[in-house]
Structure 1
C-alpha cells in the first residue's frame, strides 16, 4: 500500500471511529465512551481504536469537535450569508429549532448533554464545551446588537438576556422532544424565541 493510500485509509478509519463515538456519546454521554465498546461496534481491535487517539480524553474531544462541526453546518452555515441583524437572528432561531427537531443526534442536542455532563467537572472537555457555547452566545448577541443599532429592535433590548432566554428555550425544547416526545414543542419554542427577541410570535 502506498503512503498516500495508507494515510487515506487511516483518515477514513479515524472518521469512522469518530462518527460512531458521536452516536454513542449522544445517548450514553462522553464518559460512556469506551475503547472496548467502539472496538466491538466497529469490529476493530482495542489497539486499533486507541492508536488513533492515544487516550480516552482525546477520543472524547474528537467526538465533541465533530458534534460541534455538525451543529455549525446544520445551524450556522445555512444562515451565515443572511443580512446581519434581525433577519439573521430569526433565521438562526428557526435553524436551531429545526436542528433539534431533526434528530440528527440519537440522544438529542449533543452540546446540551455535554454541558450538563461536564458542568461540575474540570478539564479540557469541560473547557471546550464552554468555548463552543461562548462562541454561539457571541453570535446571537452580535446580531441582537446589530438589530438594535439598525432600529430593528428597541434600544433597551439586552443582548445577554436574549441569549439567555433563547438558549434556555433550546434546552427546554430538547427535553420536550427527548423526554416527553412532544411534537408541538418545536412550534412552541419558535414562538417563545420570537417573544424573547422582541418580535411578534
Structure 2
C-alpha cells in the first residue's frame, strides 16, 4: 500500500510537471524565457507556488526544464518524421519541410521556440544561454550530418561545400519563421521551400525529384 501511495504521488507530480512545462513552452515561445517565474506559472495554472517550487526549485531550473521540453517537441516534430527515410537529399528535404510545417502550424504560438530564445540569450552568459546554444548547435549539426550522408550516398556534387549549404538552408528556414510570425503571412513558407528546393537541386549530383513539402 505504501508503494501505491508513493507511485500515486510520483504520477501526480509528473502530471503537474507536464502541465507546467506545456504552459512555459508556450509563454517562452512568445515572450522569451525571461517571462517565466514560479509565481506567475502557479497563478496562471491555479497551482500553489510551493508546489511549483517543489517541482523545479528555482526560476533557472524552470527555464532549463522548459528548454529541454521544447527540444523534445522539436525533435518529434522535425527530425523523427524523416527517421525511416534512406540517407540522401530526399531526407534533407523532408526535414526542411517538417521544420516549415512546425513553424507554420504554430506548434508553439510564437513560431520556432529556439529562434525566439536564441535571440533573447545570444549576448548573455550562464547555464540557460549555454543550454539554448547547445540545442541550436545540435539542430544545425544534425542538418549538416544529413547533408554529409547525402554526399556519401553520391547525391551531392563533389564541389558542394556542406557547411555553406547548411548555413543557407538554416537561413531560409529561420527567415520564413521570423517573417511569418512578424507579419502573420504564410507566403514566406512557400518562398523558403522554393529556395531550399533550388539549392538542393543545384547541388545534386544527379537529377532529383523533390515533392512539395508537407
Q: C-alpha separation between the residues in 2 aligned to 1:14 and 1:73?
A: 19
Report what 1:10 is aligned to: 13
The answer to whether the 8 A contact 1:26-1:105 is kept is yes
Structure 1 residue 162: deviation in Å? 1.4
| Structure 2, gaps ≥5 residues long | 203-207
Structure 1 residue 101: deviation in Å? 0.7
Taking structure 2 as the reference length, the TM-score comes to 0.89
Report what 2:205 is aligned to: none
1:118 matched to 2:121: yes
Structure 1 residue 175: deviation in Å? 1.4
Report what 1:79 is aligned to: 82
Taking structure 1 as the reference length, the TM-score comes to 0.94
RMSD of aligned Cα (Å):
1.5
1:60 matched to 2:49: no
Report what 2:37 is aligned to: 34
Equivalent residue in structure 2 for 1:197, among 191, 195, 200: 200
| Structure 1, gaps ≥5 residues long | none
Equivalent residue in structure 2 for 1:167, among 170, 178, 182: 170
Structure 1 residue 158: deviation in Å? 1.2
1:141 matched to 2:153: no
Structure 1 residue 196: deviation in Å? 3.0
Q: C-alpha separation between the residues in 2 aligned to 1:125 and 1:85?
A: 34
Q: What is the count of residue pairs matched by the alignment?
A: 201
Q: C-alpha separation between the residues in 2 aligned to 1:156 and 1:198?
A: 14
1:20 matched to 2:23: yes
Q: C-alpha separation between the residues in 2 aligned to 1:180 and 1:94?
A: 20
